[in-house]
């Protein structure tokens, strides 16, 4: 199964430098006098980098096909069943006191979810990132109800070790894209932690078909492959294996979002004299974020990639970048009617973020490079986490998430 990727057009609050690059390759930029504005904290639903399988892709369905797929708000249904699976180490199958099925008219629908939402609603700002793509996909304010509240509708569970879930896939087993959580991950949340949830709103609006609506799973700590779109099925199972579709493709199925910095594409050439502004985004992953730093060095035009064992790494001079600070006033950033006091990760009394960046969110960084002599340069940026580990430490294995160090070459003069 090969994901097909649609590059979102890079517009809307993007930097002048990046815009020039996006429109015509790496343009020769007039250096802006002030640092370009940071990326907007919330990405519009249509501006996310899309990672979707399916032939046809569910977001292209229309009319009767959409109704048949149960992917309109009125027709949406999600079954919650017990998987009868047994095997060598699985003597007893999982069971639920009550299954929610389409056949007997008890499947989950949107009114049921909204009813649960009256009491258990969660809102959370999360960066979406694919384990296999070295660039954030976007960031949203996701809104829904914890998976555990949905499972509680089914009464007593026995012999449940994992929860599997998958979306609409054209009723073709070859197109199935599923993911899973352990029982504990689905049911229990550490204090101040973030629950797995079923989302039906994004940035204050109904979750669009394009972004996986009417309802998608959102797993706050995980890479995108756990956040199943067009959710239609939840199955509790006694199978202890994380048999995510991604696991079958040589990925670490229990990876968490990594702390990592990403560089915006800059102009290829800057005039001498003015400052050169470099910008980018950084995700605060499992290990949190302490700072972003850069390393600038002269390098020949088109210099080959620096090998991992090159002695230059040892003498690199890493210097601090400026991190976008927490907004003092969240009105105008959050959708109308949403108070930051009601968003997870914020102090419910003051409405201020409890940490910055928020866990599993991304913010912009920037640096002004001054007094550069004419010549060719290489610019690298890296995140340093709360353990003091610099990217790509401590987990440089790409199949647990891409966090290699990015590099940009440019010329001054």
Ligand X SMILES: Nc1nc2c(c(=O)[nH]1)N[C@H]1C(S)=C(S)[C@@H](COP(=O)(O)O)O[C@H]1N2
**Site residues (CB under 6 A) for ligand X?**
48-53, 128, 130, 137-138, 167, 177, 211-212, 224-225, 227-230
CB of 137 vs Mo ion, minimal distance in Å: 8
Task: Extract the tokens encoding 388.
Answer: 């003091």
- CB-wise, 245 or 364, nearer to Mo ion? 245
For the CA atoms of 164, 168, 171, 173, the dihedral, rounded to the nearest 10 degrees, stands at -40
- CB-wise, 128 or 321, nearer to Mo ion? 128
Query: Taking Cα atoms as reference points, which of 228, 209, 179, 211 lies closest to residue 71?
Result: 209
CB of 224 vs Mo ion, minimal distance in Å: 4
CB of 49 vs Mo ion, minimal distance in Å: 10
SS3 letters for the chain? CCCEEECCCCCCCCCHHHHHHHHHCCCECCCCCCCCCCCCCCCCHHHCCEEECCCCCHHHCCHHHHHHCCCCCCCCCEEEEECCCCECCECCCCEECCCECCCCCCCECHHHHHHHHHHHCEEEEEEECCCCCCCCCEEEEEEEEEHHHHHHCCCCEECCCEEEEEECCCCCHHHCCEEEEEHHHHHCCCCCCCCCEEEEEECCEECCCCCCCCCEEECCCECHHHCCCCEEEEEEECCCCCCCCCHHHCCCCCCECCCEEEECCCCCEECCCCCEEEEEEEECCCCCCCEEEEEEEECCCCCCCCCCCCHHHCCCCCEECEECCCCCCCECCECCCCCHHHCCCECCCCCCECCCCCCCCEEEEEEEECCCCCEEEEEEEEEECCCCCECCCCCCCHHHCCCCCEEEEEEEC
- CB-wise, 135 or 310, nearer to ligand X? 135
**Residue 74: partners with Cβ closer than 8 Å, 6 or more residues away:** 110
CB of 29 vs ligand X, minimal distance in Å: 29
With CB cut-offs between 5 and 8 Å by kind, which of Mo ion, ligand X, none does residue 229 bind?
ligand X
The residues of the shown chain that bind Mo ion, judged by CB under 5 A, are: 51, 130, 224-225
- CB-wise, 51 or 257, nearer to ligand X? 51
CB of 171 vs ligand X, minimal distance in Å: 13
Residue nearest to ligand X (CB): 224
With CB cut-offs between 5 and 8 Å by kind, which of ligand X, Mo ion, none does residue 167 bind?
ligand X
- CB-wise, 283 or 412, nearer to ligand X? 283
- CB-wise, 19 or 130, nearer to Mo ion? 130
- CB-wise, 65 or 301, nearer to ligand X? 65
With CB cut-offs between 5 and 8 Å by kind, which of ligand X, Mo ion, none does residue 227 bind?
ligand X
CB of 51 vs ligand X, minimal distance in Å: 4
With CB cut-offs between 5 and 8 Å by kind, which of Mo ion, ligand X, none does residue 230 bind?
ligand X
Query: Taking Cα atoms as reference points, which of 284, 271, 325 lies closest to residue 32?
Result: 271
With CB cut-offs between 5 and 8 Å by kind, which of ligand X, Mo ion, none does residue 367 bind?
none
With CB cut-offs between 5 and 8 Å by kind, which of Mo ion, ligand X, none does residue 270 bind?
none
CB of 53 vs ligand X, minimal distance in Å: 4
With CB cut-offs between 5 and 8 Å by kind, which of Mo ion, ligand X, none does residue 50 bind?
ligand X
CB of 400 vs Mo ion, minimal distance in Å: 13
Strand-pair partners of 384: 291, 390
With CB cut-offs between 5 and 8 Å by kind, which of Mo ion, ligand X, none does residue 164 bind?
none
With CB cut-offs between 5 and 8 Å by kind, which of ligand X, Mo ion, none does residue 293 bind?
none
CB of 128 vs ligand X, minimal distance in Å: 5
- CB-wise, 52 or 364, nearer to Mo ion? 52
Task: Extract the tokens encoding 248.
Answer: 């079958």
- CB-wise, 138 or 345, nearer to ligand X? 138
CB of 269 vs ligand X, minimal distance in Å: 33
- CB-wise, 6 or 325, nearer to ligand X? 6
With CB cut-offs between 5 and 8 Å by kind, which of Mo ion, ligand X, none does residue 128 bind?
ligand X
């Amino acid at each position: 199964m090969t994901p097909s990727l649609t590059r979102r057009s890079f517009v809307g609050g993007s930097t002048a430098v990046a815009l020039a690059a996006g429109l015509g390759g790496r343009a020769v930029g007039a250096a802006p006098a002030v640092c370009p504005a940071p990326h907007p904290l919330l990405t519009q639903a249509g501006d996310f980098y899309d990672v979707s399988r399916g032939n046809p892709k569910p977001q292209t369905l229309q009319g009767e096909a959409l109704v048949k797929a149960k992917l309109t708000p009125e027709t949406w249904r999600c079954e919650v069943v017990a998987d009868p699976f047994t095997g060598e180490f699985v003597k007893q199958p999982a069971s639920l006191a009550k299954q929610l099925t389409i056949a007997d008219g008890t499947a989950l629908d949107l009114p049921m979810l909204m009813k649960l939402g009256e009491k258990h609603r969660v809102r959370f700002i999360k960066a979406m990132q694919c384990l296999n793509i070295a660039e954030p996909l976007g960031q949203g304010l996701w809104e829904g109800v914890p998976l555990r509240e949905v499972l509680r509708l089914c009464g007593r569970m026995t012999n449940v070790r994992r929860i599997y879930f998958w979306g609409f896939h054209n009723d073709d087993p070859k197109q199935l894209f599923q993911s899973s959580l352990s029982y504990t991950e689905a049911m229990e949340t550490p204090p101040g932690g973030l629950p797995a949830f079923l989302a039906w709103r994004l940035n204050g609006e109904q979750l669009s078909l394009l972004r996986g609506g009417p309802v998608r799973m959102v797993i706050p700590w995980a890479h995108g492959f756990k956040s199943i779109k067009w959710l239609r099925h939840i199955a509790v199972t006694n199978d202890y294996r994380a048999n995510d579709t991604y696991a079958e493709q040589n990925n670490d199925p229990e990876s968490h979002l990594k702390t990592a910095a990403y560089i915006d594409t800059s102009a290829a050439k800057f005039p001498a004299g003015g400052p050169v502004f470099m910008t980018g985004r950084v995700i605060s992953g499992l290990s949190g974020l302490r700072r972003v730093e850069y390393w600038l060095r002269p390098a020949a035009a088109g210099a080959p990639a620096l090998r991992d064992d090159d002695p230059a790494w040892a003498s690199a001079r890493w210097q601090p970048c400026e991190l976008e600070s927490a907004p003092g006033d969240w009105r105008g950033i959050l959708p109308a009617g949403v108070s930051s006091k009601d968003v997870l990760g914020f102090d419910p009394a003051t409405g201020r973020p409890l940490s910055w960046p928020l866990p599993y969110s991304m913010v912009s960084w920037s640096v002004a490079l001054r007094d550069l002599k004419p010549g060719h340069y290489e610019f690298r940026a890296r995140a340093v986490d709360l353990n003091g580990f610099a990217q790509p430490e401590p987990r440089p294995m790409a199949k647990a998430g891409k966090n290699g160090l990015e590099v940009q070459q440019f010329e001054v003069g």
